[in-house]
């Protein structure tokens, strides 16, 4: 439990940095379970990179796979501050990630515990183990603060 919170704190730091860039504050780290090392870390980078696929989860998967020189990340666990969306859930399955630890649940856009529940279908060829609600309050608060500030700006404008 302590190590889960430790890794999630790094994911949270990436979410904070993303908010500073005007991105939806979601952060992720990918951990090599054989060494315990963080091998990739990123926040969302959709706007500044002009990349509709630039969610934190996708960015760490791509970083790590490029570094390791292989498209499958079998000995890796993902820590992400928000429940993955359907795109990211699909990518995590394709990449053969072992476990997903996420922070806040996302009833509006999640694809793991909500909506299409990507891992729940017989056609899903690899189902990562999923642990939700890790440091949920902090992970959710940064998102609430971000959207509240954005609504404030819209009201001011």
Interface residue list for a copy of itself (CB under 8 A): 46-47, 49-54, 58, 61-62, 65-66, 68-73, 85-91, 93-96, 107-111, 114-118, 120-125
Q: How far is the CB of 143 from a copy of itself (least distance, A)?
A: 16
Residue placing its CB nearer to a copy of itself in the complex, 33 or 67: 67
| Nearest residue (CB) to a copy of itself, 113 versus 135 | 113
Provide the minimum distance between the beta carbon of 125 and a copy of itself in the complex, in angstroms, as a whole number.
7
Residues 57, 113, 136, 154: which is the catalytic one? 57
- Judged by CB, which is closer to a copy of itself: 27, or 111? 111
What are the contacts of 92-98 at 24+ separation with CB within 8 A? 92/57, 92/61, 92/128, 93/118, 93/119, 93/124, 93/125, 93/126, 93/127, 93/128, 94/126, 95/61, 95/65, 95/71, 96/72, 96/126, 97/30, 97/61, 97/73, 97/128, 98/33, 98/74, 98/128, 98/129
Q: Is 136 a catalytic residue?
A: no
CB of 61 to a copy of itself, least distance (A): 6
Of 112, 117, 116, 114, nearest to 102 (Cα)?
A: 112
Q: Which helix (H) or strand (E) holds 81?
A: strand 76-82
Q: How far is the CB of 133 from a copy of itself (least distance, A)?
A: 19
Nearer to a copy of itself, 9 or 93 (CB): 93
Nearest of 68, 82, 81, 70 to residue 40 by alpha carbon:
68
Catalytic residue positions, numbered: 57
């Amino acid at each position: 439990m302590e190590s889960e919170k430790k890794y999630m704190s790094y994911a949270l730091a990436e979410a904070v940095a993303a908010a500073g860039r005007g991105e939806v504050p979601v952060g992720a780290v990918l951990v090599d379970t054989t060494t315990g090392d963080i091998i990739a870390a990123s926040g969302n980078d959709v706007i500044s990179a002009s990349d509709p696929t630039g969610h934190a989860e996708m960015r760490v998967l791509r970083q790590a796979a490029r570094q390791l020189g292989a498209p499958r990340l079998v000995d890796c666990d993902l820590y992400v501050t928000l429940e993955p969306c359907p795109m990211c859930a699909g990518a995590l399955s394709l990449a053969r990630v072992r476990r997903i630890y996420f922070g806040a649940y996302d009833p509006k856009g999640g694809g793991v515990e909500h909506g299409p529940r990507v891992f729940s279908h017989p056609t899903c060829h690899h189902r990562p183990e999923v642990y939700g609600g890790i440091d949920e309050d902090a992970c959710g608060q940064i998102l609430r603060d971000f959207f509240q500030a954005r609504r404030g700006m819209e009201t001011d404008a």
